[in-house]
Amino acid sequence: MERVTFKIFRCDPEKDPMSRYQDYEVALEPGITLLNCLNKIKAEMDPTLTYRMSCGSAICGSCAMRVNGHALLACKTQASDLVKNGVIKIDPIGNMAVLKDLVVDLEPFWASLRKVDPWLKPDSQDNPEKEREQTPEQFNLIDDVTTCILCGSCWSDCNILEVDKKFLGPATLAKAHRFIYDSRDAKTRERVESISEKHAVWDCTHCGECSTRCPTETKPLSRIEEIREAAMIAGVHNNNGARHVLGFRETVGKSGRLNENYLPPRSVGFFNIPGLLDIMPVGLRMVMRGKAPPIIHHSIDKVGEVKSIFSRFDQYRK
């Protein structure tokens, strides 16, 4: 059996504020999961090692941890797939404070979820005598997102959460999607409006890390894109993100290329003086470093072809 070194993050702030890595040598049995390796270490070598687990079946979401730098579910992953040069390096999931070893404080994660009212809000006038039914087509819209097990892997590896602690985060946006697209919910517009503000659906940078790390079919980035689509269709346009989309479409649809002089003021709003003043230093820096786009914006040669794509898309949408 292959012998592997488990390099595990250890930290017990109540006793010692300094964190460290501790090595454990384990002989990997064929087919053993990462979680069972940790259970073996705890049972046979070190009962003080602390981590969360419950179901052992990728259902409860409690065993998420960072392995070799990326979040995953320990119970769903074969240990042998994680060995790099004889070592498996394990850390607590990211973007959360460590309580002890691999256990983190999940409260910011729950607090973020609570912000999107994660429960059904049906029409108050509607008083059915039996359960509210859905067609298979209606359920298909929320099928993937209902597989979320709230493990926090997406939250751990989200780049925006690294720099903006107020960002709602991928799991929360996926949860918002679950009710926005639920045919039984009557508050679609209110929900879309509330997550079109700052630190929410338009702040995601599409890095895709959340979907890559997600152990279920939730795939938060796809859900975020669908919320944006819902926002555009619902006419929730009074925000930088939606204006950016509209401006992008206007300029590419007209000339075949992006007008980079037009897009920034179009995104913040032409009459939004504080917003314009905010972006002005970036524009000035671009001018001073010779990076500013040409003042006169020209169309591409085959702009007619681009226009016909937009026109066919508009017909399709109608």
> Using CB atoms within 10 A of its CB, is residue 51 exposed (0-12), middle (13-18) or buried (19+)?
buried
Using the contact rule CB under 6 A, the part of the chain among 56-64, 170-178, 204-212, 219-227 near ligand FES is: 56-64
In this complex, which beta carbon is closest to ligand FES, that of residue 37 or of residue 73? 73
Closest contact distance (angstroms) between CB of 57 and ligand FES is 6
Phi, psi (rounded to 5 degrees) for 78:
-70, 130
Chain residues 112-151 in contact with ligand SF4, contact rule CB under 6 A: 148-151
63 binds, among ligand FES, ligand SF4, none (CB under 5 to 8 A by kind): ligand FES
In this complex, which beta carbon is closest to ligand FES, that of residue 62 or of residue 259? 62
Residue 57 engages ligand SF4 in binding (rule: CB under 6 A): no
Strand order in the sheet with 64-67: 16-27, 3-12, 87-91, 64-67, 70-73
DSSP for residue 152: -
| Choice from 34, 37, 38, 53 touching ligand FES (CB under 6 A) | 53
Residue 103 engages ligand FES in binding (rule: CB under 6 A): no
Phi/psi-derived region of residue 21, left when phi > 0, alpha when psi is between -120 and 50, beta in every other case: beta
CA angle at 250 for the pair 249 and 255, rounded to the nearest 5°: 100
Residue 61 engages ligand FES in binding (rule: CB under 6 A): yes
Residue 216 carries which side chain, given as an amino acid letter?
Answer: T
Using the contact rule CB under 6 A, the part of the chain among 8-16, 48-56, 177-185, 307-315 near ligand FES is: 48-56
Closest contact distance (angstroms) between CB of 23 and ligand FES is 24
| Choice from 91, 185, 209, 226 touching ligand SF4 (CB under 6 A) | 209
Residue 201 engages ligand SF4 in binding (rule: CB under 6 A): no
Give residue for tokens 């259902």.
Answer: 59
Residue 12, strand partner residues: 16
Residue 220 engages ligand SF4 in binding (rule: CB under 6 A): yes
Whats the size of the chain, residue-wise?
318
> Using CB atoms within 10 A of its CB, is residue 148 exposed (0-12), middle (13-18) or buried (19+)?
buried
In this complex, which beta carbon is closest to ligand SF4, that of residue 26 or of residue 200? 200
CA dihedral 182, 185, 191, 192 (to 10 degrees): 50
Residue 63 engages ligand FES in binding (rule: CB under 6 A): yes
β-pair type (87-91, 3-12): parallel
Residue 94 engages ligand SF4 in binding (rule: CB under 6 A): no
Using the contact rule CB under 6 A, the part of the chain among 19-27, 41-49, 52-60, 242-250 near ligand FES is: 52-60
CB 182 within 8 A of CB 226: no
Residue 161 engages ligand FES in binding (rule: CB under 6 A): no
Binding residues for ligand SF4, per CB under 6 A? 148-154, 158-160, 170-171, 174, 204-210, 213-216, 218, 220-221
Binding residues for ligand FES, per CB under 6 A? 53-56, 58-63, 73, 75
